[in-house]
């Protein structure tokens, strides 16, 4: 059913927002941060980031990190109209468009917002294929000089919708877990081949983090470095995003941390291929 009238979209948006707040508020949240300061609510957070996660898991960050100076990139397609309203009500900025197809206006708006705030993208949205990362977030990070933070998320035995992304609906009062990367720096002026290598590397990283989070949620075990988190606005992100932040690690370094470098050992990042020392 296509909801196109302003009244219908508004009514569904209000109902959806209320449902998300109540439903997601019952979960037990724990996150393992590669570097805790990438969280915009952390007191030592500095510098804008591009947060990426799979489309199926949008409920978790939508609930936890509203009012944290984060703008979400959504498609111009009609089916994002309700999500647009819900995201705004939950405390997110919204930019409609694409980083590639007809998205020059969206790219300009994202660049403006990135000067003083964070961005978030679901890189397999809006229509898939599921867990296949489009190059837009890598292109954006390279163009704007902002590091990527990959966010793997999982729930204990979630219900799955019959949508292209197998959208995850957590069971009430169940475990929700996240495994989050360090800030990953993407070099500027990537060639087409370099862009593809980085795209494939970020996809591999995000898939691995998501699988780890799902296994952790299912097992219910304790993970070294885990932190309990809750719905919390950031008190500093609006000013701290504009401050100089950590440039981040290379993609090779983050992949190596999880044993994810290609078997042949070929580096993915320009810095590693030039033999620069690790940070």
CA–CA distances in Å: residue 155 to residues 51, 60, 273: 19, 10, 38
Count how many residues are written for the chain. Answer: 279
Flag whether pLDDT at 186 surpasses 60.
yes
Owner of token pair 């941060």: 33
pTM summary value: 0.91
The verdict on residue 269 lying in a domain is no
Do 136 and 122 form a contact (C-beta atoms < 8 A)?
no
Residue 228, pLDDT score: 97
The verdict on residue 2 lying in a domain is no
Do 33 and 225 form a contact (C-beta atoms < 8 A)?
yes
For the chain, where are the alpha helices, taking DSSP H only?
Answer: 6-24, 59-64, 81-89, 104-114, 136-144, 192-219, 237-240, 251-257, 270-273
Flag whether pLDDT at 272 surpasses 60.
no
Nearest CA to 119 out of 178, 176, 183 is that of 183
Do 63 and 21 form a contact (C-beta atoms < 8 A)?
yes
Number of structural domains, the chain?
1
Nearest CA to 201 out of 273, 260, 131 is that of 260
How far is Cα 60 from Cα 177, in angstroms, rounded to an integer? 9
The verdict on residue 30 lying in a domain is yes
Q: Is 6 exposed, middle or buried (0-12, 13-18, 19+ CB in 10 A)?
A: exposed
The verdict on residue 265 lying in a domain is no
Does residue 77 or residue 70 have the better pLDDT?
A: 70
The verdict on residue 21 lying in a domain is no
- Mean of the pLDDT values across residues 260-273? 58
How far is Cα 124 from Cα 92, in angstroms, rounded to an integer? 20
The verdict on residue 268 lying in a domain is no
Cis status, amide bond into 129, omega within 30 of 0: yes
What domain range includes position 209? 26-258
Supply the mean pLDDT for the chain: 89
The verdict on residue 97 lying in a domain is yes
Least confident of 56-60, 65-69, 109-113, 239-243: 109-113
Residue 67, pLDDT score: 96
The verdict on residue 264 lying in a domain is no
Owner of token pair 């919390």: 232
């Amino acid at each position: 059913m296509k909801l196109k009238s302003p009244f219908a979209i508004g009514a569904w948006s209000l109902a959806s927002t209320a449902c998300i707040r109540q439903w997601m508020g019952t979960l037990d949240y724990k996150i393992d941060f590669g570097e805790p300061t990438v969280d915009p609510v952390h007191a030592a957070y500095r510098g804008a980031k591009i947060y990426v996660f799979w489309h199926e898991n949008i409920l978790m960050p939508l609930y936890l990190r509203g009012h944290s100076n984060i703008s979400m990139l959504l498609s111009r397609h009609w089916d994002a109209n309700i999500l647009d309203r819900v995201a705004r009500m939950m405390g997110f900025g919204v930019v409609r468009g694409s980083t590639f197809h007809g998205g020059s206006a969206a790219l300009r708006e994202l660049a403006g917002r990135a000067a003083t705030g964070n961005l978030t993208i679901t890189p397999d949205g809006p229509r898939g294929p599921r867990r296949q990362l489009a190059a837009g977030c890598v292109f954006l990070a390279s163009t704007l000089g902002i590091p990527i933070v990959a966010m793997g998320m999982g729930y204990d035995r979630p219900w799955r919708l019959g949508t292209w992304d197998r959208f995850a609906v957590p069971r009430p009062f169940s475990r929700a877990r996240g495994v989050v990367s360090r800030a990953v720096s993407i070099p500027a002026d990537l060639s087409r081949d370099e862009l593809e290598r980085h795209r494939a590397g970020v996809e591999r990283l995000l898939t691995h983090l998501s699988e780890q989070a799902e296994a952790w949620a299912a097992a219910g075990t304790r993970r070294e470095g885990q932190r309990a988190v809750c719905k919390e606005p950031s008190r500093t992100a609006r000013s701290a995003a504009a401050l100089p932040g950590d440039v981040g690690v290379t993609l090779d370094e983050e992949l190596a941390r999880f044993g994810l470098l290609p078997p042949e050992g070929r580096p993915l990042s320009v810095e590693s291929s030039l033999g620069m020392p690790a940070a």
